[in-house]
Amino acid sequence: MLALLTWALLAFGVPMLAQALDLIDIFAFPLGYFMVAQGALIGFVVIGLASAHWQDWRDRRRLAGR
């Protein structure tokens, strides 16, 4: 559930804030563009890795209980 909420925040929340963040420039790119194009994708990868780690932990725990 936490992964889904984090995904929704990254997918919908960050783009809504992009216009306000465009006032700041990073390497000649507006911060809003940088956050949506790079930050959200990195966040999605982190969510995937965390979900895989959590599922591995659950699998190991279940197999150890047999």
pLDDT tens-place string over residues 26-64: 888 888 888 888 888 999 999 999 999 999 999 999 988
Residues 6+ apart with CB under 8 A from 50: 3
Say what the pTM is: 0.73
In the 8-state DSSP scheme, what is residue 66?
A: -
Q: pLDDT, tens digit, for every residue of 21-34?
A: 888 888 888 888 88
Angle ∠(9,6,10) on CA atoms, nearest 5: 40
